[in-house]
C-alpha cells in the first residue's frame, strides 16, 4: 500500500497543489518544505526538470580516435521514449 512515506505523496491532490504553490513562491516555504516538494530549480515551476533532462543526454563514443564525441538526446534516437 502506498503512503506518504513510500512515494504515495505523488498520488494526492494536496501534494500537487502545494507543490505548485511552492514552485511559484519559494520565499513562503522553508528549505525543508522545498526539499519535500522537490523544488530546486532557478525559475518557478522548474523543480528538477533540468536534472531529469540531463538524464536523456549522452555523448557518442566514436570508433575513429580523430573524431570528437558529440552530445545526443536518446529521445531523438528511440522514439518510444518520447519527449
Grid coordinates representing 13 are: 491532490
Judge whether 41 and 49 are in contact, CB under 8 Å. Answer: yes
Q: What pLDDT does residue 53 have?
A: 74
Q: What pLDDT does residue 37 have?
A: 82
Both 60 and 32 in one domain: the answer is no
Q: For residue 73, what are the domain limits?
A: 49-83
Both 23 and 60 in one domain: the answer is no
Both 41 and 55 in one domain: the answer is no
Q: Which of 50, 44, 52 is nearest to 21 (CA)?
A: 44
CB atoms within 10 A of CB 26: 17
Q: What pLDDT does residue 45 have?
A: 47
Count of domains for the chain: 2
CB atoms within 10 A of CB 37: 20
Judge whether 41 and 48 are in contact, CB under 8 Å. Answer: yes
Q: What pLDDT does residue 2 have?
A: 53
Span 32-80, pLDDT tens digits: 888 888 887 544 445 556 667 777 888 888 888 898 989 888 888 776 6
Amino acid at each position: 500500500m502506498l503512503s506518504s512515506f513510500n512515494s504515495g505523496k505523488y498520488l494526492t491532490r494536496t501534494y500537487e497543489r502545494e507543490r505548485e504553490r511552492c514552485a511559484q513562491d519559494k520565499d513562503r516555504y522553508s528549505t525543508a518544505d522545498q526539499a519535500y516538494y522537490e523544488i530546486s530549480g532557478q525559475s518557478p515551476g522548474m523543480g528538477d526538470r533540468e536534472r531529469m533532462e540531463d538524464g536523456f543526454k549522452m555523448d557518442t563514443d566514436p570508433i575513429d580516435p580523430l573524431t570528437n564525441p558529440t552530445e545526443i538526446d536518446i529521445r531523438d534516437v528511440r522514439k518510444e521514449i518520447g519527449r
